[in-house]
Amino acid sequence: MRTWIPDDRKFAYLNWKQIEALPKERTLLVLPTGAIEQHGHHLPIAMDTLGANLLLGRALELVPKELPIYALETVCYGKSNEHIGFPGTMALSASTYMAVLRDIGASVHASGFRKLLLFNAHGGNTALNDVMARDLRAEFGLRTFHMGAGAGAKLEGLSEQERKYGFHAGEVETAFLLAATPELVDTGAYTVNYIAKIEDEKILSPENGPVNFAWLTRDIAPSGVMGDPRAATAENGERWIAACAEKAAKALMAAFEFQ
Ligand SMILES: [Zn+2]
């Protein structure tokens, strides 16, 4: 899998003697979490794993070289049962996914480290990363953190409609790959599907409403796209990647400094 994580930030490129010699109390380990799941007709199923590698890699380039902050290998399979029924989606159950995170956390702890940050690029993992960050804190005393790969960055030029409801294979993800791996975007195969409109907010909504109903993609988005990729450009993609990386680098630094 393609990654933008610099070699000197890859925990797995160290040998165990080098790992033993790290300042374990201070070292921040970052576990990227992604998914392998359908992303419409135009993006690869690796989208969220590429996104995690891309945004974390670019963020790590902005962190001072001398600080001991390392990326673990990306958990590429995620909790993707919302996309079941589309060829290529590889979903872990919630219990399997949580067990994977629990065992990685146990190994981080057994290796003598204290700080673990979960860096997530797939919406279906968010609730579970939240739970596991707290569980790893409780079970192992790890200082844990969890964040979205976008780090809450403001994406200039993105419409309010797309910001709120373009969350799957829409303009943002398409722009990211147009900038980073344009050969993986089929620009002739865009489809558009909004599951809700901001001017037509209802009490009961699929996302971000006062009351949300649980949805499966096949119920609400026949092509698998939730959003509109048509306005995506490589230029915006590069600007948005840079904006996310800058915010994420600040988040990594804050976690590193947090006692
Ligand atoms: Zn995605």
The token pair at 216 is 């499966």
Positions of the chain with pLDDT under 50: none
What pLDDT was estimated at residue 179? 98
Ligand 1: distance of its center to the CA of 47 in Å? 6
Distance CA 19, CA 13 (A): 10
Distance CA 232, CA 39 (A): 15
What pLDDT was estimated at residue 99? 98
CB 95 within 8 A of CB 139: no
What pLDDT was estimated at residue 230? 98
User: How many helices (H) and strands (E) in the chain?
Assistant: 8, 6
Ligand 1: distance of its center to the CA of 9 in Å? 24
What pLDDT was estimated at residue 175? 98
**Closest listed residue to residue 75, CA positions, set 90, 97, 54:** 97
Ligand 1: distance of its center to the CA of 38 in Å? 8
What pLDDT was estimated at residue 200? 87
CB 30 within 8 A of CB 70: yes
Ligand 1: distance of its center to the CA of 132 in Å? 21
**What pTM did the predictor assign?**
0.97
Ligand 1: distance of its center to the CA of 131 in Å? 21
What is the secondary structure of 26-52 as a DSSP string? T-EEEEEE--B--BTTTB-TTHHHHHH
Identify residues whose C-beta is under 5 A from ligand 1, the ion: 47-48
What pLDDT was estimated at residue 236? 98
Ligand 1: distance of its center to the CA of 148 in Å? 12
Ligand 1: distance of its center to the CA of 259 in Å? 32
Only one residue has tokens 């979960």, namely 118
Ligand 1: distance of its center to the CA of 193 in Å? 15
Ligand 1: distance of its center to the CA of 40 in Å? 10
**Closest listed residue to residue 175, CA positions, set 33, 82, 161, 184:** 184
What is the secondary structure of 45-82 as a DSSP string? TTHHHHHHHHHHHHHHTTS-TTS-EEEPPPB--B--GG
Ligand 1: distance of its center to the CA of 48 in Å? 5
> Facing residues of 147 across strands?
119
Give the torsion sign (CA, 6, 167, 45, 229). negative
Only one residue has tokens 């670019």, namely 58
Ligand 1: distance of its center to the CA of 39 in Å? 6
CB 179 within 8 A of CB 238: yes
